[in-house]
Each structure stands twice: as C-alpha cells, then as structure tokens.
Structure 1
Amino acid sequence: MSRNEYVPFLSEILDVIKHTEIEYTFRMAYDGEVKPGQFFEVSVPKYGEAPISVSGIGEGFADLTIRRVGKVTNEVFELYKGDKLFLRGPYGNGFDIEEYKGKELVVIAGGTGVSPVRGVIEYFAKRSDERKNMTLVAGFKSEDDILFRDDFQFWRQNMDVILTLDNGEETKDHKIGLVTKYIPDLILEDVNTAVAIVVGPPAMMRFSVKGLLERGFKEENIWISQERKMCCGLGKCGHCKIGNQYVCLDGPVFNYTVGKTLID
C-alpha cells in the first residue's frame, strides 16, 4: 500500500544550536536520502506547518535552521533536545554535488540564504581534492545576524571566504558592503568553466547574477534557489507556481537558464 504523502512522520530533536536571538538550528533524526537545497515541511498540531530548507546533512540526521517569524515557528522554538516534531519530505530539487566536482566554484549567499547551500559548502570544505579553487561570499545585515559562526572558522581554512556585513566597521574577520561589491574582484583561473551558486533575497540574487554575468560567467554555469516561494511541497496548492514551473516540485534549485524566466 502506498504511503500518503500528506501524512507527516515524527522526528526527534537531537540537538538545538542557537545562532541569533531568532535563528536556531534544530538537528532532526532522519535516515534517508536528502540533498542540500531540498526542504522539509515542519508541522505543529493545531498551529500549522512551514517549509524549512535543509541546512546540514549527516549520519542519521538532517539540520533545519529556523527563523522565529510566525505562529508555527514560535511553537517550534518552545521545544528542546529530546522533544519531537512532525516532518514530511524531503521535497524539491536540491543542489547536485556532481555538477560542481572538478571545477572552480563560487558560492554567493545572503543572510538565511547560507542555510540551503551550507551542505554544498561543507562537502567541498572537507573534500578540497574534489574541486578546484573555491570562494564563498556571504553577507549578513550586522554582526548580530551572522549564522554558523563556528563553520566560518573551518571554512576559512579550506577555501577563500569573504564575510561581509551591510553596516558597521571592518575587522579582520569581516568586510563591509553588499556581496555584489566583491564580485568584480573574484580571483578566477578560467571564468569559462567556473560554476556559481547564488542564494538569498530576490534583489540580492538578481544583482549578484548580473555581476557574475558581467564577469564572464556562462548562464548555464550558474544555479539559484527560489526557496522563498516554497509552499505545500507537493505542487497541489498552486501558491509556488510561476509560469509553467512549480517551485516546490521543479525547484527550489534551478539552473539560471530556467531560473531567469521565473518572473512573478
């Protein structure tokens, strides 16, 4: 008998990691295949459900980095290690690691956009022999908004990292300015074969991709994520439909050759 895709399953919270006052990572027990960039529907009975991108993958777990912004996430933040949450998924089309192996890789992420691409960053941070030069450009509003601080220390040892804040004063750990400011200065061996991933707020993605194209990146070598458009996860509610694409089914990760057409 086939499983009803609408019915969630219970998952234990293995750990809770605080990043900011409103952003925590919930490490959920999960055995099964999952890709960076995919998402789970997290539900709390009587309060509803919310789509949350996978921010980390490991043996027997999947990380979900959640921002406290509404009635569902408010309830999630009342839970602790050992408690349980209802999940369904994973859903969507994630980042395919194979696409980036053996190539120069640039990752540009803004704010919570670091979460869905963190699995890719982690993979290549630990396996530098499987790619060429790698650069991460990550931007946050302020120092208080930085996610995955410990990870950044590790990533700096294994790739070129530009951590930038919208405002404040420059330090040895971070620069000041929007992520787009640093695209013209990217050091690349061969822009014709380099690949890039861009995730963040719509305006940030639009201008970052514009900057990459101006640097000579090919459209087919750029990937974006429309994670902010996710809804039911099954293509039934229609809220994520743009043109003839369902973001929760065909995305949220798109090659830019398709992603550039998703105007709503």
Structure 2
Amino acid sequence: MRKQEYAPFLSQIQGVKKHTDIEYTFSVSYSGEVKPGQFFEVSIPKYGEAPISVSGIGKDYVDLTIRRVGKVTDEVFERYQGDKLFMRGPYGNGFDVNDYKDSELVIIVGGTGVSPVRGVIEYFSEHREQRQSMTLIAGFKSPHDILFKDDFKRWEKHMNLILTVDGAEEGYQGRVGLVTRYIPEIKLADASRAKAVVVGPPAMMRFSVMGLLERGFAEEHIWVSYERKMCCGIGKCGHCRIGHKYVCVDGPVFPYTIGKKLLD
C-alpha cells in the first residue's frame, strides 16, 4: 500500500474497451504490487470518487472495468486514451493464487463479478500445470450483457467453461439458466478437496455456495468477495463495516467460514 494512503496519484488511460453500453474496461498506468480482487479509488475533482475492482494486471498498468451508474462513473466515461484519472490504492486483500494451486478449481461468477476474479482465471488459464481440473461457470442476464467475450473464447480452450444467460433471445445458441443449474454437472475427482471462488450478486453467491456444499465442498475451501460493500478503502468511513469486520480492510475477499457470518 502506498505510504500516503489518503493521497491520490495521477494515472494515464492507456486504452479503453467497450463491452456494453454501460460497461467499459479502462487500462490505466500503474506500477506496483497488486492482486486480483483488490481495488482502487478512482476520482475526478468536483465529482467525487468510486471504488473499482482490478479486472486485469499487466506490466505497468491495471485494468479497471467500470459500470456507468452514477455521477463519478458518468464523468469517467467521458475520458479517453491519453486522458488522466486520479487514483489511490490498491486496497483490500485480494485473491492469492497460491490458495488454489495443485487443486481442482471451480470459479462461479455472475455479471460484473467476473471482473475481480478475472486475474485468477487468467493465471490458471496460462499456468495449467499449477492446478488440476478447472471449471468456470459464468452467468449474465442476456447475451448483450456478456463481458470479456474474447477472453471467454480463449479460456474455453484451457478449462471447462459453462457460459450461461438468464434469458434467451432469438438466434442465441448458448446455454440458458442460472449458474446454480450447472453446479451438479461439474465433474470432480474429490469434491471435499476441491477449491472454489464465488463472486456475484448476494443471492447468486448464497445459492451457489449452497450448491457447492451439497456437492461436498468443504466450507474452508470456498472463497467469496463482498466487493459491493467497498467504500473509502481504509476503514475510516464505516460504511463497509459488517459486525466487527471492515470489508475494505479485512476483505473484500473472505473464506466462506468467515463470510457466512457477515450478514448485513
């Protein structure tokens, strides 16, 4: 973490990729340690700041996938390659890929939940020798809402990919149904020793974890992210507090043994 954790720094936009009308990925300059699942506070003077999860990590840059949902993100969407943003961070604990090495790995994501875990998926897609089998179940509302389409085409060559949408449209040839529908279909040699990551809307995470437990997963082998609770990044504003935990500081990634107790 930066020594002056309150002070933002300028970051230049190196590229912008449009996924949907309201979801873009901004590649912004950054040099330093960062892990998938961590987040930055992105700010524009006079408009405020917003916590944005890291959706990709490269040499001297990070990807931030942003949904246009308010005053700050509206203004961010007016920025283009070469423009600059203020940022501070990274914050939070993030995902540690070492937790999943040499294991059968299952990742279940819903909607923009794919963003914070994208780095984990990418790592084990490129380092297949460091894990056993891998299944990725990703769900979106409709075919038009699917993010990272190019990545999914590449990932399906290296893992068991189940890409599904809630509702079909004319001409759509893919899977339809909630992500939980496909949990019983996961092929595992030993579910009790497999590892899982679940990120998405609260209801989706709750029922996905239930499905994994029914399959025989151990609670301590399941990780969840409460990224929707992120706020100031340093646990000072109190908005992220659930019980005695501060999601910005103690999370947003939690093993399910802890996450199941964080009811808000």
The answer to whether the superposition gives a TM-score over 0.5 is yes
Do 1:23 and 1:68's aligned partners in 2 also have CA atoms closer than 8 Å?
A: yes
Q: Report the alpha carbon displacement of residue 5 of structure 1 after superposing the two structures with TM.
A: 1.4
For 2:122 and 2:182, the matched residues in 1 are separated by: 22
Q: Which residue of 1 aligns with 2:244?
A: 244
Matching of residues 147-226 of structure 1 within 5 Å: 147-168=147-168, 174-226=174-226
Matching of residues 1-264 of structure 1 within 5 Å: 3-168=3-168, 174-264=174-264
Q: Report the alpha carbon displacement of residue 134 of structure 1 after superposing the two structures with TM.
A: 0.2
For 1:115 and 1:170, the matched residues in 2 are separated by: 27
Matched to 2:261, the amino acid is T
For 1:69 and 1:169, the matched residues in 2 are separated by: 25
For 1:126 and 1:28, the matched residues in 2 are separated by: 23
Q: Report the alpha carbon displacement of residue 185 of structure 1 after superposing the two structures with TM.
A: 1.1
Matched to 1:6, the amino acid is Y
Matched to 1:227, the amino acid is E
For 2:172 and 2:62, the matched residues in 1 are separated by: 32
User: Are residues 244 and 166 of structure 1, via their aligned partners in 2, closer, same or farther at CA, if it must alter by over 3 Å?
Assistant: same
For 2:240 and 2:170, the matched residues in 1 are separated by: 39
SS class of match (2:193): coil
Query: After superposition, what is the alpha-carbon deviation per residue over 1:198-234, rounded to whole angstroms, capped at 9, x for unaligned?
Result: 0000000000000000010000000000000000000
User: Are residues 121 and 173 of structure 1, via their aligned partners in 2, closer, same or farther at CA, if it must alter by over 3 Å?
Assistant: farther
For 1:92 and 1:43, the matched residues in 2 are separated by: 18
SS class of match (1:162): strand
Moved over 3 A (4+): 169-173
Gaps of 5+ in 2: none
Q: Report the alpha carbon displacement of residue 192 of structure 1 after superposing the two structures with TM.
A: 1.3
SS class of match (1:73): helix
For 1:128 and 1:182, the matched residues in 2 are separated by: 23
Query: After superposition, what is the alpha-carbon deviation per residue over 1:128-169, rounded to whole angstroms, capped at 9, x for unaligned?
Result: 011000000000000110000000000000000000000015
Q: Report the alpha carbon displacement of residue 4 of structure 1 after superposing the two structures with TM.
A: 2.8
Do 1:163 and 1:173's aligned partners in 2 also have CA atoms closer than 8 Å?
A: no
The percent of aligned pairs where both chains have the same amino acid is: 69
For 1:136 and 1:5, the matched residues in 2 are separated by: 35
Q: Report the alpha carbon displacement of residue 170 of structure 1 after superposing the two structures with TM.
A: 9.3
Matched to 2:118, the amino acid is R
For 1:191 and 1:170, the matched residues in 2 are separated by: 37
Matched to 1:186, the amino acid is I
Q: Report the alpha carbon displacement of residue 172 of structure 1 after superposing the two structures with TM.
A: 8.3
For 1:47 and 1:240, the matched residues in 2 are separated by: 21
Gaps of 5+ in 1: none
Matched to 2:28, the amino acid is M
Do 1:235 and 1:248's aligned partners in 2 also have CA atoms closer than 8 Å?
A: yes
Cα RMSD (Å):
1.3
Do 2:143 and 2:172's aligned partners in 1 also have CA atoms closer than 8 Å?
A: no
Matched to 1:250, the amino acid is D
SS class of match (2:257): helix
SS class of match (2:20): coil
SS class of match (1:183): helix
Do 1:36 and 1:95's aligned partners in 2 also have CA atoms closer than 8 Å?
A: yes
Give aligned pairs, total.
263
For 2:115 and 2:177, the matched residues in 1 are separated by: 20
TM score, norm. by length of structure 2: 0.98
SS class of match (1:197): strand
